[in-house]
């Protein structure tokens, strides 16, 4: 079937096609407008291994603390994994003085989004419906990570790490309404075309 035949079929069912576009696009607009405000908090953590020996204290070359950097890199992977632990996330809520949400552990483990960057930097993000709670949680996260790190240091005196936190940023999580509506409009065109073709098919069969 040629392309113009498809257009003819859609033309015969233009009302269905048009209603599909209007309903889906308008429905998407109303859905997005009715969504509650959310807030995005973000910060950056850097893992540093404390150097037991400084270059000025020894006569041999210590390679600009290369091994400390490598060790920090490996430990940053551990810190990143803590953000997906329901137990650690619960501790962060307690430290922030915020009630732990009554949700499944699988959902609780996705509260924070932690992305590790080489060599030992972790970008942490959090989305919440309460602006104050969002700020408290992102700040408490760094505190809990340092506390966990200190707990490990008690049993391993040779490997001591510091978690350096950058200033956190909290802002309203604004969605790109125009982009979402364009996607909804294009999807509604495809849906309307398929619906028109389906009606034509069942009319003939």
Q: Quick: pLDDT tens for 65-119.
A: 666 778 889 999 999 999 999 999 999 999 999 999 999 999 999 999 999 998 8
Cis peptide, bond prior to residue 167, ω within 30 of zero = no
Q: Examine the domain organization and report whether 153 and 59 are in the same domain.
A: yes
What is the number of structural domains in the chain? Answer: 2
Q: What is the DSSP string of 127-184?
A: EES-HHHHHHHHHHHHHHHHHHHHHHHHH-TT--EEEEEPPPEEEE----HHHHHHHH
Kindly report the pTM of this predicted structure.
0.72
Q: Examine the domain organization and report whether 98 and 30 are in the same domain.
A: no
Percent of the chain's residues with pLDDT above 90: 60
Residue 57 has pLDDT above 60, yes or no: no
Q: Examine the domain organization and report whether 141 and 188 are in the same domain.
A: no
How confident is the model at residue 42, as a pLDDT?
Answer: 95
Q: What is the CATH number of the domain that holds 113?
A: 3.30.70.1130
Q: Quick: pLDDT tens for 143-154.
A: 999 999 988 877
8, 120, 127, 187 from 2: Cα distances, Å:
10, 58, 49, 22
Instruction: List residues bridging with 182 in a β-sheet.
Output: none
Q: Examine the domain organization and report whether 130 and 148 are in the same domain.
A: yes
Higher pLDDT, residue 59 or 147: 147
Determine the structural domain holding residue 131 and report its residue range: 39-172
């Amino acid at each position: 079937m040629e392309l113009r035949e498809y257009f003819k079929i859609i033309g015969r069912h233009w009302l269905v096609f048009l209603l599909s576009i209007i309903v889906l696009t308008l429905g998407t607009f109303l859905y997005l407008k009715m969504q509650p405000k959310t807030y995005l908090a973000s910060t950056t953590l850097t893992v540093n291994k404390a150097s037991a020996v400084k270059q000025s204290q020894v006569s041999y070359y210590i390679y600009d603390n290369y091994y400390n950097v490598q060790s920090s890199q490996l430990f940053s992977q551990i810190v990143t994994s803590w953000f997906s632990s329901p137990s650690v996330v619960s501790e962060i809520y307690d430290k922030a003085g915020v009630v732990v949400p009554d949700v499944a552990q699988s959902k609780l483990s996705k509260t924070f989004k932690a992305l590790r960057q080489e060599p030992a930097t972790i970008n942490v993000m959090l989305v919440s419906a309460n602006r104050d709670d969002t700020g408290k949680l992102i700040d408490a996260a760094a505190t809990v990570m340092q506390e966990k790190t200190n707990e490990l240091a008690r049993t391993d005196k040779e490997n001591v790490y510091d978690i350096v936190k950058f200033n956190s940023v909290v802002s309203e999580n604004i969605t790109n309404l125009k982009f979402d509506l364009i996607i909804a409009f294009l999807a509604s065109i495809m849906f309307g075309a398929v619906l028109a073709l389906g009606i034509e098919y069942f009319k003939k069969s």
